Amino acid sequence: MNQPEWLDEPIQQTHPHYAQQARARQDQLTKPPGSLGRLEEIAIQLAGLQQTPHPAVDPVQITLFAGDHGIAEDGVSAFDPVVTLQMMENFSNGGAAICVMSEEIGAQLEVVDVGTRWQGAVPQAVRDERIAAGTANMRRQPAMTDEQFSAALTAGARAVDRSIDQHGTRVFIAGEMGIANTTAAAAVVGALLNKPAPGLVGPGTGHDAAGLRHKAEAVDETLALHREQLGGPANLSEPWQAGRRVGGLELAAMTGAYIRCAQRGVVILLDGFISGAAALLAERLRPGTRAWMILGHGSAEPGHHRIVAALGGRPLLDFNMRLGEGSGAATAIPLMRMACAIHNRMATFAEAGVTPEGKG
């Protein structure tokens, strides 16, 4: 393995003392204790992570990583890989869902090409950090070399460093673009959890029943190949092997970004299935990363519930979304802002001159 040196830097420790202080404040606000439900929980969690009595969401950074997948040539997606580049142009022109959402919530948006197959110039406003022209076909060989996987992790870490240094980011959202990336995500989760494709594979870009069967077969064949090459399922569940053999360049960049957030004390707001696969990989590579994660939404992709079960916790929203791009997480930002505003600005009983015992 050729692990980057930064990967060994310590994960920031969380401080329960601040969460306890926030919980005590919530109990003094002019409301029955616990009556605002998860809005209270969000503020308490953020206070603990940010080590402050005044939790905040902004500045928010959304970084979208793009990459192509060799297994797309086997027809596992309902769309041709050319759509990756077309969508990159759409991101550049501000026409994608996440572009509209980031503008609406006032978030910084960066699009980073870590591995599309196009050899020319990337579209305007897209950062070119291409490591390879997509991954190899993981159904036949490892998706990445050790060097490529390491470089993709590092590209994600650099994106977080940029966002902190330039904007002082407090909450980080990673999105993704790449035809066949739900196939890679299903394979990574299957490798890490030693699960077969059924229950992990979903419609992605819009498969019918026959397409789903084909996609599931491709994932199971991929997992079987690499388990055999490594001498058994336990060896493929080792996170470095799982990530480089059956992952994607953009998924690896997301993984590196999540680890770097935890190292630098930035809150991670997770999106859906692909984001969750990267989060699970990040936690397996660097235990303790999970503490910095908030689950933004529950994806309609069927495998997401397995990721949620493995990570623990409960998503903030369940809107039947499965677009990706970071869109589900972005949708949760106004909710988090509301939680912080209530926590920071609502009057306590003492400030309002209200006697708690008098509330009916």
- Confidence at residue 280, expressed as pLDDT on a 0 to 100 scale: 98
- Confidence at residue 125, expressed as pLDDT on a 0 to 100 scale: 87
Nearest of 45, 66, 132, 144 to residue 326 by alpha carbon: 66
- Confidence at residue 80, expressed as pLDDT on a 0 to 100 scale: 78
- Confidence at residue 203, expressed as pLDDT on a 0 to 100 scale: 63
In the structure encoding, which two tokens stand for residue 17, read together? Answer: 């003392």
DSSP tag of 177: E
- Confidence at residue 206, expressed as pLDDT on a 0 to 100 scale: 59
Q: What are the φ/ψ torsions at residue 293 (nearest 5 degrees)?
A: -100, 140
Question: Which segments of the chain have a pLDDT < 70?
Answer: 203-207, 358-360
Write out the DSSP string of 273-323: HHHHHHHHHHHHHSTTGGGGEEE-B--SSTTHHHHHHHH-S--SB------
- Confidence at residue 179, expressed as pLDDT on a 0 to 100 scale: 92
- Confidence at residue 2, expressed as pLDDT on a 0 to 100 scale: 83
Q: Quick check: is 325 catalytic?
A: yes
Catalytic residue (one of 73, 325, 351, 357):
325
Amino acid at 18: Y
- Confidence at residue 122, expressed as pLDDT on a 0 to 100 scale: 76
Put simply, whether the predicted model's pTM sits higher than 0.75 gets the answer: yes
